[in-house]
Amino acid sequence: MNIDLENNIKEWASKKGLSTSAQDIWTFFQLSIENILIPEKTWFKIGKTYISLVIGGIYLSAFRLYQPDKGIWLLLDKSPEEDIDGFEFKIVKSTKRSAKRLIWAHSGNIENVNNIIHNNDIWKSHRKASVKILNYPISADQDEKQKRFNKIRISDILGKISEDQDYYQNKFVNAVEQSQKLSKEARLRRLSNADKSPNQVRVTQVIFQRNPDVVAEVLERAGGICEACKKPAPFLRKSDNSPYLEVHHIVALADDGDDTIENAIALCPNCHRKYHYGIIAKI
């Protein structure tokens, strides 16, 4: 789909006679789009008095010129450590009852956009929130409604589909569970009509720069013994003949866990899988 987002956004901003520069407004949405990991679920629209990016029924980012909801809106996974001039940070109502609440960054004055577009930590937080929001019902697909309101899917504009790795894995696991509920006959019918060559999906993932010293210390502490099942490592590494164990963070880095020895444990592959996908009473 041939749509010039930059020119369209700048033209909208220029026509409104705003004191905020059209370049700053474009930069805000450019950064939001660059940090959204699920573009095939994200919809874009330029309205008469607003620009918005949404997933399901919630903003990822938006500019609104009038009430209700006047100002700048940006979805974050947590409040920043330091205040940002002109912005307030409040819990997203639809995530209030969750242990993993998301946060709105909001300013009623769009001139404050310059205070946020150069803050790298804010955009890292926005990137995480663009995936975490998928855990909440408000992000459920509303594709027909989006089309009725003439919104455009970001993946159609960019010409690509990018799925977060954890999201794609969870979607696959759910699909397997649904398949297991079918009768054998129904499953075989589907298989007879299925393509033998799988579709390719571009997968992206937020990568944390882990401390190699933490891994080395935890492996040394374990001494080749899985710290969960207390059994020896199942095999030796081809590279150096050391016992093969995997270092796992007890509180995930994505959930703001620390990259420390105290928050890490050495596991055999079986226990590592169990910790991710099984029922764990205690490790």
What's the mean pLDDT in 151-155? 90
Q: What does the block give as tokens for 3? A: 């749509």
What's the mean pLDDT in 107-123? 94
Sign of CA dihedral 188, 193, 195, 201: negative
Are 271 and 228 in contact by the 8 Å Cβ rule? The answer is yes
What's the mean pLDDT in 48-66? 95
Residue 10 has pLDDT above 80, yes or no: yes
Residue 134 has pLDDT above 60, yes or no: yes
Greatest CA separation for the chain:
69
Residue 281 has pLDDT above 60, yes or no: no
Which class in CATH covers the domain with range 212-277? alpha beta
pLDDT in tens, 195-245: 776 665 555 555 677 888 899 999 999 999 999 999 999 999 988 899 999
Spans of all domains in the chain: 5-163, 212-277
List of long-range contacts for 159-163, beta carbons under 8 Å, 24+ apart: 159/1, 160/39, 160/202, 161/39, 161/40, 161/201, 161/202, 162/37, 162/38, 162/39, 162/40, 162/202, 162/203, 162/204, 163/37, 163/38, 163/40, 163/201, 163/202, 163/203, 163/204
* Candidate from 39-53, 59-73, 267-281 with smallest mean pLDDT: 267-281
DSSP character at residue 210? -
Residue 283 is predicted with a pLDDT of: 47
User: What is the C-alpha separation between 28 and 92, in angstroms, rounded?
Assistant: 20
Residue 78 is predicted with a pLDDT of: 93
Residue 156 has pLDDT above 70, yes or no: yes
**Burial (CB count within 10 angstroms: exposed 0-12, middle 13-18, buried 19+), residue 140:** exposed
Average pLDDT across the chain, whole number = 87
pLDDT in tens, 82-105: 999 999 999 999 999 888 899 999
Are 29 and 6 in contact by the 8 Å Cβ rule? The answer is no
Q: How confident is the model at residue 268 (pLDDT cuts 50, 70, 90)?
A: very high
% pLDDT > 70, the chain: 89
